[in-house]
Structure 1
Amino acid sequence: MITPLLRCALLLLTALPLAAQRPTASRSLHVLEGVPQRPMERWVDSVYQELSPRERLGQLIMPIIYPVPTDSVQLLERLKREQWGGILFQKGLLAEQRQLTLRLQQAARTPLLIALDGEWGLYMRLKDAPRYPRSQQITAASTQLLEAYGREVARQCRLMGIHINFAPVLDVNSNPRNPVIGTRSFGSTVEEVKRGALAYARGLESGGVLSVAKHFPGHGDTSEDSHKTLPSVNASKARMEALELAPFRSYFAAGYGGVMTAHLRVPAYDPTGRPASLSRPITTDLLQRQMGFKGLIFTDALEMKGAQVKPGESLIVAALLAGNDILLGPPQPQQALRELEQALSKGEIPTQLLEDKCKKILRFKYALIVHPDTSQEASPAEVKHRIWTSEEARLRQQLEQLSTKRAKEQDPTAATGAASRRK
């Protein structure tokens, strides 16, 4: 016989799984706040109608480019043929990249989303930019200082015509054998990562640059590098909820606008062993449906060894069908576009899916490029001078002092060397 007390207990137990799957309570996206909706939708609809199916597919692709001047003519020709949605620049110099950005924007049929992989600022990719400590070295900074740091990086990005920064790292550095996260993380606990990463993201987005949290659903507890192979996170759902997913939930709830999916096996959420970046159960069901994320979803670079598919399967099509919006760094962008075209013509990519993805990207373009005041962007000749300011130097000094103090606490003999390397 089931007593009233037992019935109540059973009801509570059956409700627990449902409670765990409720979408994260999230506010509206910061990047879309203050953007007039009607003009944005008119612009999005107008641009979308003008694009051919091939050009709509091109909006989903973001190749990785090294800004070498001798390649600029060929690069412009490729852009005219393929009409990518954006570009991630890697190594280079400030004026060189700024000049190439201007030329590419002039050649693009729709504005390009320009991205930076700059976890600790522009210097991570552009060697004549200000150099800041890595995230782990400034964990002790106040949230006000970390937010100011994010705003300063955003200011420099806007001068360069950069709209997106692939930062912050939300991975909890919980595995000391991890070869790829380490000092890129804000800490080894959930609270350290949430505190540091969200303050940095707040600064980036208040400065007009889209932040992108990475590497979903969490790359901290691996002993392998997804650039070289396909790592695994062999944790239970309960452990994932408590550790790996917790910083992402806080980031989504705060209304920040971008996330990057990782090339990781996560058997707790997809027992097939498919990488999270190519897994519909993870990228669509977990990230979007259960956690309620509405922002832009980027794959990690598809040229990485961890992006693995079955023989004969299209990597680029798999990444799109998994639920990603922007397909970053395919090994051969032109071939990737052809494979997307073929999949669209065969009905493997539904027309409605393409429309939804393309229009979503166009809305972010309007919010990040069309709507903002672009007068703050610098010319190639003046960009370096406008980035290196006295205010920037004061902020950098504060961060360096914190980094030196942490280095001294960890290893007193390393403090002097650490300080000299940052000069």
Structure 2
Amino acid sequence: MSVEEKIGQLFMVQVFSDKGKAHENSIAKLITGQHIGGLIYSNGGPVRQAKLNNELQAGSKIPLLIGMDAEWGLSMRLDSTYAFPWNMTLGAITDNKLVEQAGRQIGEHCKRLGVHFNFAPAVDINTNPKNPIIGNRSFGEDRDNVTEKGLAFMKGMQSAGTLANAKHFPGHGDTEDDSHLKLPTINFSAKRIDSIELYPYRKLIKEGLSSVMVAHLNVPSLESRRDFPSSLSKHIVTDILKDSLGFNGLIFTDALTMKGAADYVENDVDGSNVKV
């Protein structure tokens, strides 16, 4: 591959199967012109998505990596599909085999649509009742239960041939802000984060976790640069996730259109502001 193709392979672009031909053509141009490596499907319908996915895959020189955010099943994004319980409900179940079965069923549904990665499970520990974005998407407030349920869900989904993704690293459970709208701050010590927020990742990685999604968070105890998103931090992504936790799978950022990343501004060498 050329340098341009290698760079293009690093990007996944959001696709909708309900936005018509102009949208579909714009995605096709990104595939052929910018050599993007993957697609993350959002709203639409299952049949329309399957047909569109076949067309886009056929037009790509390099096979596309296909993902979806389908935490509680395809109905999170698509009409006419089955909805499974949200994580908070699964977290209240005592039989982890049922959680594993739910993960497997969701994995089978994803695979039927040609989806390689489901960006699930969320393993954020819901320790802040004021959290505006995690809430019912978490298995609960207890790190051990969250870990057990996340592991069961991961094993079930990956047994169906759909790869799992643990999120939102290093932990979005104890925030009072939504990273879609601004950069939330995690004001805990590195010791506390290691013992609580990172605990599920450590366990899932040992059991064969395929990928991790890094959140857009300001974590002063882990990143010395002020208001520097965790998704851009070498220390958080490389030193902690890859080196300390020993993760060697795929690493994704959360959506780069989210304000937690998109609004980041750094000072250039001449003191002017540069938006990245």
TM-score normalised to structure 1 length = 0.61
Distance apart, 1:81 and its partner CA: 0.7
- Tell me which of 76, 79, 84 is aligned to 1:124: 76
Higher helix share: 1
| Equivalent in the alignment of 2:97 | 144
- Tell me which of 9, 13, 38 is aligned to 1:86: 38
| Equivalent in the alignment of 1:253 | 206
| In structure 2, distance between residues paired with 1:156 and 1:147 | 14
Distance apart, 1:257 and its partner CA: 1.0
| In structure 1, distance between residues paired with 2:165 and 2:212 | 5
The answer to whether structure 1 residue 162 and structure 2 residue 112 are counterparts is no
| Equivalent in the alignment of 2:87 | 135
- Tell me which of 293, 300, 303 is aligned to 2:247: 293
Gaps of at least 5 residues in structure 2 are: 268-272
Q: 1:93-131 CA distances to partner (integer Å, 9 max, x unpaired)?
A: 000111100000000001101101011111101121101
| Equivalent in the alignment of 1:105 | 57
| Equivalent in the alignment of 1:61 | 11
The answer to whether structure 1 residue 282 and structure 2 residue 236 are counterparts is yes
| In structure 2, distance between residues paired with 1:230 and 1:73 | 33
| In structure 2, distance between residues paired with 1:112 and 1:75 | 12
The answer on whether the counterparts of 1:69 and 1:96 sit within 8 Å (CA) in structure 2 is no
| Equivalent in the alignment of 1:236 | 189
| Equivalent in the alignment of 1:225 | 178
| In structure 1, distance between residues paired with 2:14 and 2:153 | 24
> Which has the larger Rg?
1
| In structure 2, distance between residues paired with 1:242 and 1:137 | 25
- Tell me which of 243, 266, 274 is aligned to 1:310: 266
SS in 2 for 1:310: strand
| Equivalent in the alignment of 2:151 | 198
Distance apart, 1:314 and its partner CA: 6.5
| Equivalent in the alignment of 1:328 | none
| Equivalent in the alignment of 2:142 | 189
| Equivalent in the alignment of 1:367 | none
The answer on whether the counterparts of 2:75 and 2:83 sit within 8 Å (CA) in structure 1 is yes
The answer on whether the counterparts of 2:30 and 2:36 sit within 8 Å (CA) in structure 1 is no
Higher strand share: 2
Q: 1:260-319 CA distances to partner (integer Å, 9 max, x unpaired)?
A: 00100111111213111011111111111111110100000000000024155573xxxx
SS in 2 for 1:63: strand
Gaps of at least 5 residues in structure 1 are: 1-50, 316-423
The answer on whether the counterparts of 1:115 and 1:162 sit within 8 Å (CA) in structure 2 is yes
Residue type at the aligned position of 1:282: I
% identical equivalent positions: 42
Distance apart, 1:168 and its partner CA: 0.3
SS in 1 for 2:126: coil
| In structure 2, distance between residues paired with 1:242 and 1:285 | 17
Number of aligned residues: 265
The RMSD of aligned alpha carbons is 1.2
| In structure 2, distance between residues paired with 1:218 and 1:237 | 12
The answer on whether the counterparts of 1:147 and 1:202 sit within 8 Å (CA) in structure 2 is yes
Q: Which moved more, 1:244-253 or 1:65-74?
A: 65-74
Q: Which has the higher contact order (CA 8 A, sep 6+)?
A: 1
Q: Which moved more, 1:148-157 or 1:295-304?
A: 148-157
| In structure 1, distance between residues paired with 2:207 and 2:74 | 25
